[in-house]
Amino acid sequence: MKFQGKIKIKLRPSILDPHAHATMKVLQTQGYSNVESLLIGKFMEVVVEAPSLEEAENLIHLLCQEVLTNPIMEDYELEVREV
């Protein structure tokens, strides 16, 4: 069975993201004064072969923790579905 994982990676809340901060300032100076916050992260899609949904989730969590994110500064959210 094939499963697709959608991974959203963002900087941990305690960390100031200079990218997002600069971009938000531009939005505000362009008249979008309602914008209160902006987050810029990474989005990844991965397809894996696994015998079950649970095992696919475990595998992709492992990929996230070991390779795709740096837990010191990044958090991630994962959604997995069969494809």
Partner 1 sequence: MKFAVIQFPGTNCEIDTAYILKDLLEQEADIIWHMQDDLSSYDLVILPGGSSYGDYLRTGALAKFSPIIEAIKKHAEQGKLVLGICNGFQILTEIGLLPGAFMKNQNLKFIGDDLFFKVINNSTPFTSSYSKEQILKLPVAHLEGNYYIDSDQLKELQAQNRIVLRYCNSQGLCSEQANPNGSVDNIAAVLNERGNVLGMMPHPERMAEEILGGQDGLGFFQSILEYHKERKEQ
Rule CB under 8 A: is residue 1 a binding residue for partner 1? Answer: no
- Residue 79: Cβ-neighbour burial (10 angstroms; 0-12, 13-18, 19+): exposed
Phi, psi of 61 (to 5 degrees): -60, -40
Rule CB under 8 A: is residue 73 a binding residue for partner 1? Answer: yes
Rule CB under 8 A: is residue 67 a binding residue for partner 1? Answer: yes
Phi, psi of 67 (to 5 degrees): -130, -55
Nearer to partner 1 by Cβ, of 18 and 51: the residue is: 18
Among the listed residues 16, 30, 37, 83, the single contact to partner 1 using CB under 8 A: 16
Between CA 48 and CA 59 the distance in angstroms is 8
Rule CB under 8 A: is residue 14 a binding residue for partner 1? Answer: yes
Residues of the shown chain interacting with partner 1 in the complex, contacts defined by CB under 8 A: 11, 14-19, 22, 67-68, 70, 72-73
